Structures are given as C-alpha cells and as structure tokens.
Amino acid sequence: MPSHHDIRLKGPWSYCLPNRHEPFNCTLPVDLAGFQSHPGYRIALRRNFHRPSGLTPADSVRLRFRADVSPDSVRLNDGVLSGEHSSGIWLSENFVERLDFFNRIEIEFLLEEPVPASGLLCDDAVLRLESSAA
C-alpha cells in the first residue's frame, strides 16, 4: 500500500530582490504586503536542504506549495522543475533521481501587475515523499 510523508520547508528561506546583492532571510508564509510591487518585479525565494535519508529510486519526491501567484519558474539545483499550479497549489514532477546530497530550491515569481496588500506569495511548502513499499 502506498504511503507518504511530508517534510515542511517553513524555514530558513531567503528572498532576493532586483538590484540587491545580499538576500533577506525569511520563513514561510511570505506576504506581499511588505513589497512595493510594480509590473516586471521579480522575487526569488531560495532554500537549501539535505537529501532525505532512506530514499530509493522507486520512491517519489515532489515539491508542493500554496501561492496566490503562479510561479514564473521553479528550479532544483539549477535545473527547471516542471509542475502544475491549480487552485492555489503548485505540485512538481517527481524529482527523486535529481536529488544530490545537498540541494537548493529556487521559486521565482514575476509580478506582472500590482498585487493586493493581502496577497500571499508563498505558504505551506513541503517535500512530499511517497513510497510504494508496504
């Protein structure tokens, strides 16, 4: 019977803004209320993590997060992760075979129009580990 385990990625995250060399540290959720957004504004959220132990090639690992804005790109170790954004939830493809010992996720948002002050940029990020083993 398939089973799953979620690893929360609440923090530490960092975010980068245009024309700034040093990132800001944050934890999830990240709210847009603190950002002066305008068309063309990019925000990149980044987080490092270790490969979860005990994974086999038969297991599945996916990134799942909630966001009011669809991400422009999601990357794992500088490679693009494909996924679907539906009803405020983004779910990636299985990337178990792409995991290294130490990994980096980067979620980039391109804010093409002003977002309401209460707009949630990113919340509830998890690594979902699924195993078909009993």
pLDDT at site 2:
59
pLDDT at site 63:
95
> 106: domain range?
3-131
On the question of a cis peptide bond just before residue 29, with omega within 30 degrees of 0, the verdict is yes
3-state DSSP assignment of residue 82: coil
Sequential pLDDT tens for the chain (134 residues): 457 788 888 878 888 766 667 788 888 887 755 555 555 677 888 999 999 988 888 899 999 998 877 889 999 998 999 999 998 899 999 999 999 999 999 998 877 666 655 556 677 788 888 886 54
DSSP string for 1-54: --EEEEEE--S-EEEE-TT-SSPEEE-S-EEGGG----TTEEEEEEEEEEPPTT
pTM: 0.84
What does R_g of the chain's alpha carbons equal in angstroms? 15
Q: What is the pLDDT of residues 51-80, one digit of tens each?
A: 998 888 889 999 999 887 788 999 999 899
Which one-letter DSSP state was computed for residue 118? T
* Number of domains forming the structure of the chain: 1
CATH number at residue 27: 2.60.120.260
Strand ranges across the sheet with 79-80: 24-26, 13-16, 41-50, 102-111, 73-76, 79-80
